Amino acid sequence: MAKRIGIEVSLAISEAVKLANVDAIAAYPITPQTHIVEHLSELVADGELQAEFIPVESEHSAMSVCAGTSAAGARTYTATSSQGLALMNEILFIIPAMRLPVVMTIANRSLSGPISIWNDHSDLMSVRDTGWIAIFAENGQEAFDLTLQSFKIAEDHRVMLPISVNIDGFTLSHVIEPHEFLDQAEVDSFLPPYEPLVQLNPDKPVSMGMVGIPEIYFEAKKAQDMVLIESKAVIKEVFKEFGEKFGRYYHVIESYRTDDAETLLMTMGSISETAMEAIDIMKDEQGRKVGLIRLRLWRPFPHEELRELLRGVKTLAVVDRAVSFGSPGGPVATEVRSALYNSENAPYVASFIAGLGGRDVTIEHFTTMVDMAERMAEQREVHEYKMIGVRE
């Protein structure tokens, strides 16, 4: 029976990991993800979770431990943020190449320097091409649900890839929200025990992570890209199954009040809920034909679904929370422009960068972005990107 309680989002994620019956947790503390692994250590110490809790001396070691435990057939979890994710970088590439279904929460935080512990998406964007599936949650309930679904997606034998579930640091990780928890029987009915496709076993030796000589490296990379692209079908399948079972539906791109919209905002993460309020005001009080789409799935990028949602839309205002230094736009906007390049009647795409290093993105900012995007579209202004809320 579902149970509704108020709890910090980080702790709710820990409870989801417990309900998933993980076998191994590699942990190194870094703000703002620390509460997640801290609570998991309590659950293990108190005997509420039967798992190996492995404290390590760095994030590089944490991800290395994940590689080892996952290869040995253990359902494996870790969490990190910002510089910690950067320190994992070397091993992040190896995990998907070895088809290891590790699940990791990233409490998104800006990268130094200058030193900052506050939220934006620069950490995730720095690892976008490592081959991990990347999913965004906008609130605590979604973080809880998507953590459970991620184990099922990652461990599907058609996928066998790692997944990062991204939550905005502090904005989500440190707030108390109402959550509707599933009980153990419900989770067990959805998430079966992990059955490794291959695993390290001294009784049946296999070699994993071998050298890729020029005669096979290229093919290995093509195979890795293909399985990541094809994982989208499984992701949609699991989202659908979860919705039918528990009544909470997820999509690779979420939409909000897009009927008859000629201008759309596009966001990721927790600022989407502020964007919804802005859309409500613009539609209900100003009569404007606007709407919102929120990117749930960042990798693999949902090109087809995006093109379908943008049919008939005249203007798209993409809001990035990271800088791709020296590029012609924010990372998401650049991806969107590329996806639409060969599309007929593609909307005008305006690229905005906002909310870096924990800077608030307000309702007024979203209204300003819509105003600017519509004006730029009318004038067919050639631009790269514009920053919102920055002092100049």
pLDDT of residue 1: 56
What's the Rg (C-alpha) of the chain?
21
Separation CA 199–CA 374 (nearest Å): 54
Asked if 191 and 20 count as a contact pair (C-beta separation under 8 A), the reply is yes
> Exposed, middle or buried by CB within 10 Å (0-12, 13-18, 19+), for 356?
buried
Q: CA triplet 250, 253, 8: central angle to 5 degrees?
A: 55
Name, in order, each residue with C-beta under 8 angstroms of 78's C-beta and a sequence gap of 6 or more: 25, 26, 27, 37, 62, 63, 65, 66, 102, 104, 105
Contact by Cβ (8 Å): 68, 23: no
- Which of 15, 6, 294, 241 is CA-nearest to residue 135? 294
Q: Can you give the pLDDT at residue 299?
A: 98
Helix or strand run (H / E) with residue 351: strand 348-354
- Token pair for residue 268? 């990721």
The helix-helix angle for 271-284 and 363-378 (nearest 10°) equals: 70
Distance of CA 244 to the CA centre of its chain: 22
At residue 150, the pLDDT reads 98
Rounded to whole angstroms, the Cα distance separating 359 from 112 reads: 15
3-state secondary structure of 348: strand
pLDDT, tens digit only, all 392 positions of the chain:
567 899 999 999 999 999 999 999 999 999 999 999 999 999 999 999 999 999 999 999 999 999 999 999 999 999 999 999 999 999 999 999 999 999 999 999 999 999 999 999 999 999 999 999 999 999 999 999 999 999 999 999 999 999 999 999 999 999 999 999 999 999 999 999 999 999 999 999 999 999 999 999 999 999 999 999 999 999 999 999 999 999 999 999 999 999 999 999 999 999 999 999 999 999 999 999 999 999 999 999 999 999 999 999 999 999 999 999 999 999 999 999 999 999 999 999 999 999 999 999 999 999 999 999 999 999 999 989 999 999 98
What torsion, rounded to 10 degrees, do the Cα atoms 296, 298, 301, 304 define? 20
Please report the DSSP string for 308-329 in residue order. Answer: HHTTT--EEEEEESS--TTSSS
DSSP codes, 25-78? EEE---TTTHHHHHHHHHHHHTTSS-SEEEE-SSHHHHHHHHHHHHHTT--EEE
Label residues 50-82 b or e (16+ Cβ within 10 Å = b): ebebbebeebbbbbbbbbebbbebbbbbbbbbb
Helical (H) or strand (E) element with 133: strand 133-136
331 near 124, Cβ under 8 Å?
Answer: no
